């Protein structure tokens, strides 16, 4: 099997260039590639376009890239209460494109699957439809949406092997498997990296073909945005 292991996040992101388009996995702070984000923070990259379901919080996740003024554009479904994002958006240094969450997921899936565009009902009659082709099928209206592909995909899985096969845990799966397929270079970080042959092929979520680089991250913080417990 092809060995895709790199030493760490720093090595994994070392050839990302200014202005690159980057997919970043996760939903809120769940399942985000913490180590790759931290590695990006050690670079002086500028003008990145980040495609991620959310914008993180001011001091964690994608929010850290915003705080360090590394992003030119953010493509998300919901940006939440991120004050630094708001500030940069209001002065016009950070562009925002809001996409319905299901459309975002499907556009990324389409990008990875070689489908250049598809019709969806989401957004009909709203400003999301502005400038897009509308077509009727079986007496309902649908919008034409384009695929999304990126230069890099930074994703996080629970376990992986050196061939890039990945298994996710819980709801930390979210956008990660989709993004894995849509990056020209997909960088996977895992909590546990095992030799080829140790993962059960029946249980693999992302086949290794989609992954170009893999490494084991350490000291995962896995911050919880809203701690809620039974009363």
Under DSSP, the state recorded for 84 is: H
| Nearer to another protein (CB atom), residue 111 or residue 208 | 111
Which lies closer to another protein via its Cβ, residue 3 or residue 171?
Answer: 171
Site for another protein in 108-137 (CB under 8 A): 108-109, 120-128
* Min dist. Cβ of residue 14 to another protein (A): 28
- Total residues contacting another protein by CB under 8 A comes to 56
Q: Rule CB under 8 A: is residue 216 a binding residue for another protein?
A: no
User: Pattern 84-113, binding to another protein, x per CB under 8 A?
Assistant: --x--x--------x-xxxxxxx-xx----
Residue 66: other Cβ atoms inside 10 A: 25
Residue 211 contacts another protein per CB under 8 A: no
CA–CA distance, 214 with 119 (Å, rounded to integer): 34
Residue 44 makes CB contacts below 8 A (sequence gap 6+) with none
Minimum distance from CB of 100 to another protein (Å)? 4
- Residue with Cβ nearer another protein (49 or 82): 82
Closest to 85 (Cα-Cα) out of 122, 104, 60: 60
225 binds another protein (CB under 8 A): yes
Q: Is 177 in the site for another protein (CB under 8 A)?
A: yes
Cα–Cα distance measured from residue 216 to residue 218, given in angstroms and rounded to the nearest whole number: 7
With binding defined as CB under 8 A, does residue 172 bind another protein? yes
Q: Is 8 exposed, middle or buried (0-12, 13-18, 19+ CB in 10 A)?
A: middle
Tokens of 184: 């020209």
Contact set for another protein, span 10-29 (CB under 8 A): 27-29
For strand 213-216 and strand 183-194, is the pairing parallel, antiparallel, or unpaired?
parallel
Dist. CA 231–CA 229, nearest whole Å: 6
The residues of the shown chain that bind another protein, judged by CB under 8 A, are: 27-31, 53, 76-81, 86, 89, 98, 100-106, 108-109, 120-128, 158, 168-178, 205, 222-231
């Amino acid at each position: 099997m092809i060995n895709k292991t790199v030493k760490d996040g720093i090595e994994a992101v070392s050839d990302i260039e200014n202005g690159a388009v980057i997919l970043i996995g996760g939903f809120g702070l769940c399942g985000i590639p913490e180590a790759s984000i931290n590695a990006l923070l050690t670079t002086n990259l500028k003008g990145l376009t980040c495609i991620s379901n959310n914008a993180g919080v001011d001091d964690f996740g994608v929010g850290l890239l915003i705080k360090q003024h590394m992003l030119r554009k953010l493509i998300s479904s919901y940006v939440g209460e991120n004050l630094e994002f708001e500030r940069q958006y209001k002065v016009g240094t950070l562009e925002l494109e809001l996409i319905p969450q299901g459309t975002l997921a499907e556009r990324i899936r389409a990008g990875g699957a070689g489908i250049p565009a598809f019709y969806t009902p989401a957004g009909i009659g709203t400003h999301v439809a502005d400038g897009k082709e509308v077509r009727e099928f079986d007496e309902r209206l649908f919008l034409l949406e384009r695929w999304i592909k990126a230069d890099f995909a930074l994703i996080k899985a629970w376990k992986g092997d050196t061939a890039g096969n990945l298994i996710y845990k819980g709801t930390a799966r979210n956008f990660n498997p989709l993004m894995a397929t849509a990056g020209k270079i997909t960088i996977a970080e895992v909590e546990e990296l095992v030799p080829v042959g140790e993962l059960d092929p029946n249980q693999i979520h992302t086949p290794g073909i989609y992954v170009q680089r893999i490494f084991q991250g350490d000291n995962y913080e896995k911050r919880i945005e809203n701690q809620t417990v039974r009363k």
